[in-house]
Amino acid sequence: MADITWEDAFCGEGASCFRLGTDADGNGYVAIAGAEANHLADSAEALRQMIRDIKAGKADHLL
């Protein structure tokens, strides 16, 4: 199991809190706060691209 460094949680008003993490091998992780053992994993670059896409509005249809 990778040694994941988790960032502080991102919480929306009345919504679940999500945490982002990375490891020394260049992997990125996304988890619901409190359930970090059940995370999604991909490369750190894939995580960066997902964040760029969200900021660019590519997920606005989910709001």
∠35-55-43 over CA atoms, to 5°?
50
DSSP string, 11-50: E-TTS-EEEEEE-TTSEEEEEETT-TTS-EEEEHHHHHHH
Between residues 2 and 20, the one the model is more confident about? 20
Encoded tokens for 19 = 């945490």
Q: Tens digit of pLDDT for each residue in 14-63?
A: 778 999 999 999 999 999 999 999 999 999 899 899 999 999 999 999 88
pLDDT at 31: 96
Task: Report the residue count for the chain.
Answer: 63
Residue 53 to residue 55: CA distance in whole angstroms? 5
